[in-house]
Structure 1
Amino acid sequence: MPNKGYSETWFAIDANNLLFPDVCMGDKSAKNFAARLQTLNRQWEPERTIVAFDSSESFRRKLFPEYKAKRGAKPEGIDDALKAAKEACWDECVDCVAVPEFEADDVLATIAAAATATGRRCVLFSSDKDMRQLLRAGKVTQCRKLNRDRDRFTAEWMTADDVKRNFDVTAEQWVEFQMLVGDASDNYPGVDGIGPKTAKSLLAKYGTLGNLFAKEEREQIRPREVKKLFAARENGTLDLMRKIATLRDDVPISEALLEMEATR
């Protein structure tokens, strides 16, 4: 978890998810958002803070039209509130970015990759379980929730060790776990007939799906669940689920930041 004076740590914030729960409070929402940014930066003094916003469209929906299809309509006034939040970022000299066809989660993944590639650490401010795939010991940590305590924040953290301890899969295995079991909140199905217990058992035994296929292709007799995975590979389900579940870490953030700078 971050301490005050973390000069080599980047904060990557999903505005829609964590720091903006009062997005529909009208004029007060942007003020509250700015106050949270001020407190966050004053308390922990990160080297850099970047706030990510969702794009109106997602490449995942083009791949799988049912993606997030069961979610309700956007709250009235949210677009104006998000615009005000971006202006609050600019007023606080905090970078903010939204990239067409990418979600804020993908932006956070790209920021984490850029930070760790240069020897920095990264803290991801989001409660989304998809962040678990990005966590790395001593490098990438998730802040799941911020609670205000007078003029400071207390936080609920998740680390790579927490993922293993709480869910019986590693952070590195999280994508393939989600590929197998699906995600009801994002409305993608996973592999038919593979539930969490079976998925965890397979990943514990083989480590990765690649290892599973490499070993089981040599076997004449396959367990029923392994047959299901071979069928899912053949019909394209696994490839599609991987593209849906994996957060992209190659989002063109630098170009987007330059465009945002030009429109201030």
Structure 2
Amino acid sequence: MYYDMHCHLNEFGDAEVEDIFSKLKELKIVAVSEDVSSFNRTLELSERFPNVIPCAGFHPWSLKNHDISEAWELLRLATRKGVSCIGEVGLDRKFMQVDSMQAQLKVFRAYAEAAKELSALLNIHAPDAWRDALMEAAEIGVQRAMFHWYSGPLNLVPGIVGRGYAISINVAIKIQPKLRDVARETPLGSMVFESDGPYNYHGLRLTPLMLPDLAEIVSQVKGLQVPEVLEAVARNSERLLTR
């Protein structure tokens, strides 16, 4: 079984979603959202495709063109639905202005608290704010969390996995050398996979169909057989998703 632990499935057309599940039959997708409309679309997809797990999240970038009140509306909706995953949420010092950090923190803390209360997975976005996000999640007492597309300091990996949190390796490993280093440093028992599709990374359009290639590359980096890697990653993924 392949697990895509972070995918913007709502941004794919219906035909492509069907094609993805047709081509990769043993697949579960954790479908993150960024705002109310994307969450509603994600819920709709989860009703049609049993292997889609909906996540409720208010992305830091959404603060650029959405009022913060929408974050609270979505949080109430997520709580009513009793979702098993909160995300995509987090802190961003790389792509967001410094003066937005107070609002980012307010939203992230509220969603992290919800993840704790719901015993849900916290799906974290934290470019150049990895330490901040780890500190906040740990202080709040979040039980299950994953750091999406981790490309941060290698010396922070022990701190993340030491809390029982997971490092997510992206399919962009094909063209982003840093991710090979991350995969090398991350214990297999703390690793999950993701596509972040349909994001376009330097001309490479990311999709869940790249997961087999990711498994192959990680196996080479780790000096392990592909089935061993897939079994461990599946076990890690289920642990994060099981309340």
TM over 0.5: no
| Structure index of larger Rg | 1
Structure possessing the higher relative contact order (Cα contacts under 8 Å, 6 or more residues apart):
1
TM-score in terms of structure 2 length: 0.30
Judging by fraction of residues, say which structure has more helix: 2
